[in-house]
Amino acid sequence: MSTAGQVIRCRAAVAWESGKPLSIEEVEVAPPQKDEVRIKILFTSLCHTDVYFWDAKGQNPLFPRILGHEAGGIVESVGEGVTDLKPGDHVLPIFTGECKECPHCLSEESNMCDLLRINTDRGEMINNGKSRFSINGKPIYHFLGTSTFSEYTVVHVGQVAKINPEAPLDKVCVLSCGMSTGFGATVNVAKPKKGQSVAIFGLGAVGLAAAEGARVSGASRIIGVDLNPSRFEQAKKFGVTEFVNPKDYNKPVQEAIVEMTGGGVDRSVECTGSIQAMISAFECVHDGWGVAVLVGVPNKDDAFKTHPVNLLNERTLKGTFFGNYKPRSDIPAVVEKYMNKELELDKFITHTVPFSEINKAFELMLAGEGLRCVIRMDE
């Protein structure tokens, strides 16, 4: 029996207030409107960004809210005007979008869509400024336009990547955010050549995805930099060949890396958001050709300084957002890389929990355990 055009009642994990465990509730999910699709979520995973906004220390708290943005599912129904998706399509909802019409989308160089780029403050759908979720008639806010901690969610068509139906959603769901961000930062932005050296600052999930990008690119040395030595053993699986803990040196870590490499690394990727790491990542690359790429999100009032001579000596400093991938145009091909065994994902998934135990995923992340915890929605 078709549910198209009808309100669906289903389970969702609702964040009622900041820092309090999520509560599994029955919610009502309205049908998709113009340019929207309703998706049955099968697997979702927890990303640090969900925890950051659940904790709501650094930004405008918006509650009650359904968090979640790293996921895979199947289209249940489509709204008016949606032509490139149909019920039954396998998809990844993505926290940023691609309208395919704005100057950014028409540019080959950008993925920062004017209409659908990430907006952490918005809790409603852009079509009519209202939420598609409610409990007893009271609206529940959306998160990043995805809200995947629900058995069904409504997403703007521009934020939905249609992928190979053969791809296992319980694995490729992690490509909808963190893994693509790190992997793309290396392969699309740093672009190491075969045999070059790469330093990765921060060995969390995104940093290890950046290391995976360096491994796939044929880097000869991949130097992992982290303040937590317990991350070093795990990082070997991702191609990291040597480790540097800044605490072990009585000089700036960039100086140590320059010495280790006889002048600096060829590429560096910064995945921590710490300004100190950003300076180190830039100053540790080789003069003449070195490229440093910033991925980590800084605090609001942060600024950093470096001597302009570092740039005049032909070092390059770049930034990236979502690995420079356009969600609809590029992510399906990243899924194919996984299908063709050019990219490994299974090693990123260190835990799985049933939906009823979603708070366990938060506990694991807060304890710094594992990389990605995949949540199975059918349990």
Positions marked active-site:
47-49, 69-70, 99, 102, 105, 113, 117, 177, 372
Q: What is the 3-state secondary structure (H, E, C) of the chain?
A: CCCCCCCEEEEEEEECCCCCCCEEEEEEECCCCCCEEEEEEEEEECCHHHHHHHHCCCCCCCCCECCCCEEEEEEEEECCCCCCCCCCCEEEECCCCCCCCCHHHHCCCCCCCCCCCCCCCCCCCCCCCCCCEEECCEEEECCCCCCCCECEEEEEHHHEEECCCCCCHHHHHHHHCHHHHHHHHHHHHHCCCCCCEEEEECCCHHHHHHHHHHHHCCCCEEEEECCCHHHHHHHHHHCCCEEECHHHCCCCHHHHHHHHCCCCECEEEECCCCHHHHHHHHHCECCCCCEEEECCCCCCCCCCCCCCHHHHCCCEEEECCHHHCCHHHHHHHHHHHHHCCCCCCHHHEEEEEEHHHHHHHHHHHHCCCCCEEEEECCC
